[in-house]
């Protein structure tokens, strides 16, 4: 009975500790939200150069007449800035699509990210961004017999730098981004690494931060 009682106490303590951590995180988020000046949002797309590696081997040289295009899409939403600190806390939903195609068929590698991010304005004109989080893929092809399996849970991240144009709450971001995602495919267990560097344009709604300098 003593052992059972002791195990129950440890179990309850573990639950209480987890509840305490969750509560602390929630209180911290609410505190940041309350102290933030307002809502942040951006959405847009970019074009650039993509790379796909399967188990470290780059997918290229698919034959003459094969073209490729890489597109980046995404949105961010959150709060900021926080007082005199020009930082915005956001959540991001985005991804890249890297398509190889000719006159008859195509293969497209799609990698996505869902996770938290941070935006920093060293000066009101410049936005620096970092996001990281959960990743999944949804590859496509119209080639008969070619099957792309869904991925197990993966990891993705991106960094960006942009010029923020617009003095009111509405603005335009023009910048450069690097995206990278790692996913293990179901069944085959091969590792797919997708990356892209892009030039993007986004609409943004934000409360402008003051300069640190």
Q: What is the CATH number of the domain that holds 82?
A: 2.40.160.20
Provide the Cα torsion 4, 6, 10, 16; round to 10°.
90
In a domain, 119, yes or no: yes
State how far the Cα of 86 lies from the Cα of 202, in Å rounded to an integer: 19
Domain hosting 166: range is 39-205
In a domain, 33, yes or no: no
In a domain, 30, yes or no: no
Number of domains making up the chain: 1
State how far the Cα of 98 lies from the Cα of 134, in Å rounded to an integer: 19
Classify the C-alpha dihedral 36-93-69-60 as positive or negative.
Answer: positive
In a domain, 32, yes or no: no
In a domain, 8, yes or no: no
Spatial contact of 109 and 192, defined as CB atoms under 8 Å apart: yes
10-residue mean pLDDT profile of the chain (213 residues): values are: 38 45 49 65 96 84 78 95 90 94 87 96 95 91 71 90 93 98 85 95 89 60
For residue 55, the model assigns a pLDDT of: 87
In a domain, 101, yes or no: yes
pTM for this predicted structure: 0.79
For residue 146, the model assigns a pLDDT of: 64
For residue 3, the model assigns a pLDDT of: 35
For residue 21, the model assigns a pLDDT of: 52
State how far the Cα of 196 lies from the Cα of 45, in Å rounded to an integer: 13
In a domain, 67, yes or no: yes
For residue 95, the model assigns a pLDDT of: 96
For residue 30, the model assigns a pLDDT of: 47
In a domain, 4, yes or no: no
């Amino acid at each position: 009975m003593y052992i059972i009682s002791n195990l129950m106490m440890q179990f309850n303590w573990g639950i209480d500790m987890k509840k305490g951590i969750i509560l602390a995180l929630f209180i911290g988020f609410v505190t940041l939200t309350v102290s933030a000046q307002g809502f942040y949002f951006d959405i847009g797309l970019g074009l650039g150069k993509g790379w796909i590696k399967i188990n470290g081997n780059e997918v290229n040289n698919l034959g003459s007449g094969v073209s490729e295009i890489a597109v980046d899409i995404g949105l961010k939403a959150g709060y900021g800035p926080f007082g005199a600190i020009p930082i915005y806390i956001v959540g991001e939903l985005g991804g890249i699509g890297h398509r190889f195609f000719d006159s008859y068929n195509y293969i497209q590698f799609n990698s996505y990210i869902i996770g938290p991010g941070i935006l920093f304005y060293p000066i009101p004109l410049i936005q620096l961004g970092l996001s990281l989080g959960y990743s999944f893929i949804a590859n496509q092809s119209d080639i008969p017999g070619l099957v792309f399996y869904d991925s197990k849970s993966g990891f993705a991240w991106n960094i960006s730098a942009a010029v923020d144009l617009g003095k009111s709450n509405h603005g335009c971001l023009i910048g450069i981004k690097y995206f990278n995602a790692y996913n293990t495919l179901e069944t085959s267990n091969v590792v797919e690494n997708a990356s892209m560097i892009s030039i993007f344009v986004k609409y943004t709604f934000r409360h402008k931060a003051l300069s640190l300098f």
